[in-house]
Amino acid sequence: MSQNLEKTYNPKEIEPKLYDKWCEKKYFHAEVDRSRKPFTTVMPPPNITGKLHMGHALDNTLQDILIRYKRMQGYNALWIPGTDHAAISTEVKVTNQLKEEGIDKKELGREKFLERTWQWKEEYAGTIEAQLKKLGVSCDWDRERFTMDEGCSKAVEEVFISLYEKGYIYKGSRIINWCPVCKTSLSDAEVEHEEQEGHFWHIKYPIVGTDDYLEIATTRPETMLGDTAIAVHPDDERYKDLVGKKCLLPLTDREIPIVADYYVDKEFGTGAVKITPAHDPNDFEVGKRHNLPEINIMNDDATINEQYGGKYAGMDRYEARKAMVKDLEEQGYLVKVEPHSHNVGTHDRCHTTVEPLIKQQWFVKMDELAKPAIEAVKNGDLKFVPERFDKIYLHWLENIRDWCISRQIWWGHRIPAYYCDECGEVVVSRGMPEKCPKCGCTHFTQDEDTLDTWFSSALWPFSTLGWPEKTEDLDYFYPTDVLVTGYDIIFFWVIRMVFSGYAHTGKCPFHTVFIHGLVRDSQGRKMSKSLGNGIDPLEIIDQYGADALRMTLVTGNAPGNDMRFYNERVEASRNFANKVWNASRFILMNMEGKEITEPDLLKLLPADRWILSKCNKLIREVTENMDKFELGIALQKVYDFIWDEFCDWYIEFVKQRMYNAKEEPESAGMALWTLREVLKNALKLLHPFMPFVTEEIYSKLIPQEESLMMSDWPQYKEEWEFPQAENVVEHLKLLASGVRNIRAEMNVPAGRKIKIYVVSQDQELLTGFQMLKDAVQRLTNASEFIAQQDKSGIAEDAISVVVPDATAYLPLEDMIDFDQEIERLTKEEARLTKEIARSNGMLGNEKFVSKAPAAKVQEEREKLEKYEQMMAQVKDRLASLKEKISR
- Last-in-domain residue among 343, 374, 404: 343
| In-domain check, residue 479 | no
CB 45 within 8 A of CB 83: yes
CB distance 331 to 74 below 8 Å: no
Report which listed range, 427-431, 591-595, 750-754, is most confident: 427-431
By the 10 Å C-beta count (0-12 exposed, 13-18 middle, 19+ buried), 534 is classed as middle
Is residue 886 very low, low, confident or very high in pLDDT (cuts 50, 70, 90)? low
SS (H, E, C) 281-292: HHHHHHHHHHCC
Question: Which distant-in-sequence residues (6+ apart) come within 8 Å of 246 by Cβ?
Answer: 207, 208, 255, 256, 257, 258
φ/ψ of residue 860, rounded to 5? -70, -40
Please provide the DSSP assignment of 858-871 as one string.
Answer: HHHHHHHHHHHHHH
CATH of the domain at 635: 1.10.730.10
The maximal CA–CA distance of the chain, rounded, in angstroms, is: 127
557 and 695 share a domain?
Answer: yes
Please say if the pLDDT value at position 887 is more than 70. no
Residue 6 lies in a domain: no
Would you state the pLDDT for residue 258? Answer: 96
Same-domain check for residues 756 and 868 = no
**Would residue 706 count as lying in a domain?**
yes
Whole-number pLDDT of residue 3: 67
If asked whether residues 837 and 804 sit together in one domain, one would say: no
Which one has a higher pLDDT value, 887 or 732?
732
When pLDDT is cut at 50, 70 and 90, the band that residue 669 belongs to is very high
Q: Is 529 annotated as a binding residue?
A: yes
In percent, the amount of the chain with pLDDT more than 70 equals: 98
Whether residue 126 is predicted with pLDDT greater than 90 in this model: the reply is no
Q: What is residue 487's DSSP assignment?
A: G
Contacts of 822 (CB under 8 A, 6+ apart): 878, 881, 882, 885
Element (H, E) at 273: strand 272-275
Q: Contact, 123 vs 97, CB < 8 A?
A: no
Q: Per the domain annotation, does 243 fall within a domain?
A: yes
CA distances for 23 relative to 31, 59, 81, 281, 693, angstroms: 15, 21, 14, 52, 17
214: in domain: yes
Residue 323 has pLDDT above 60, yes or no: yes
Same domain? For 597 and 679 the reply is: yes
530 pLDDT higher than 70: no
Interval 226-239 mean pLDDT: 94
Task: Give residue 497's pLDDT band: very low, low, confident or very high (50, 70, 90).
Answer: very high
Nearest in space to 156 (alpha carbons), one of 67, 84, 81, 107: 84
Lowest model confidence (mean pLDDT) among 239-253, 286-300, 584-598, 747-761: 747-761
Among 761, 794, 815, the domain-final residue is 815
What does the pLDDT read at residue 389? 93
621 and 654 in a common domain:
yes
Whose CA is closest to 556, among 516, 501, 599?
A: 516
What percent of the chain shows pLDDT beyond 90? 64
- Domain termination site, one of 302, 323, 343: 343
pLDDT in tens, 734-791: 888 888 888 887 778 878 888 888 998 989 888 888 888 888 888 888 888 888 898 8
> How many beta carbons lie within 10 A of that of residue 628, not counting itself?
12
Q: How much is the pLDDT for 797?
A: 74
What's the mean per-residue pLDDT of the chain? 91
Residue 625 and residue 693 in one domain: yes
Distance between CA 258 and CA 273 in Å, rounded?
Answer: 10
Q: How many CA atoms lie within 13 A of 421 on its CB side?
A: 10
The answer to whether residue 620 is domain-embedded is: yes
What SS3 state is found at 213? Answer: strand
Alpha-carbon distance of 211 to 195, in angstroms, equals: 39
Q: What is the dihedral of CA 823, 829, 831, 836, to 10 degrees?
A: 180
The answer to whether residues 711 and 731 belong to one domain is: no
Asked whether residue 561 falls in the same domain as residue 700, the answer is: yes
Q: Please, what is the angle between helix 11-24 and helix 110-135, to 10°?
A: 110
Query: What pLDDT sits at residue 76?
Result: 98
User: Whole-angstrom distance between the N-terminal and C-terminal Cα of the chain?
Assistant: 62
Regarding whether 791 and 752 lie in a shared domain, the answer is: yes
Q: Return the exposure string of 707-733: e unless at least 16 CB atoms fall within 10 Å of the residue's CB, then b.
A: ebbebebbeeeeebebeebbbbbebbb
Per-residue pLDDT, 529: 64
Query: Is residue 679 located within the same domain as residue 739?
Result: no
Residue pair 609/601 in contact by the 8 Å Cβ criterion? yes
Q: What is the pLDDT of residue 62?
A: 97
Which of the pair, 1 or 558, is modelled with greater confidence? 558
pTM value?
0.85
Residue-number span of the structural domain to which 743 is assigned: 725-815
pLDDT of residue 181: 86
Asked if residue 642 has pLDDT above 80, the reply is yes
For the ranges 129-133, 557-561, 662-666, 765-769, the lowest mean pLDDT is seen at 557-561
Domain count, the chain: 4
Residue 682 falls within a domain, yes or no? yes
Q: Span 534-555, mean pLDDT? A: 92
Pairing of β 229-232 and β 255-260: parallel
337 and 210 in a common domain: yes
CATH of residue 745's domain is: 3.30.2320
Angstrom distance (rounded) from CA 362 to CA 552? 45
- What pLDDT score was predicted for residue 518? 81
pLDDT at 124 over 90: no
Binned at pLDDT 50, 70 and 90, residue 792 comes out as: confident
pLDDT at 623: 98
Is residue 1 over pLDDT 50?
Answer: no
Which amino acid makes up residue 506? Answer: G
Distance (Å, rounded) from C-alpha 15 to C-alpha 691? 9
Same domain for 698 and 745?
no
Query: Of the candidates 299, 411, 394, 281, which has an alpha carbon nearest to the alpha carbon of residue 345?
Result: 281
Is residue 569 in some structural domain?
A: yes
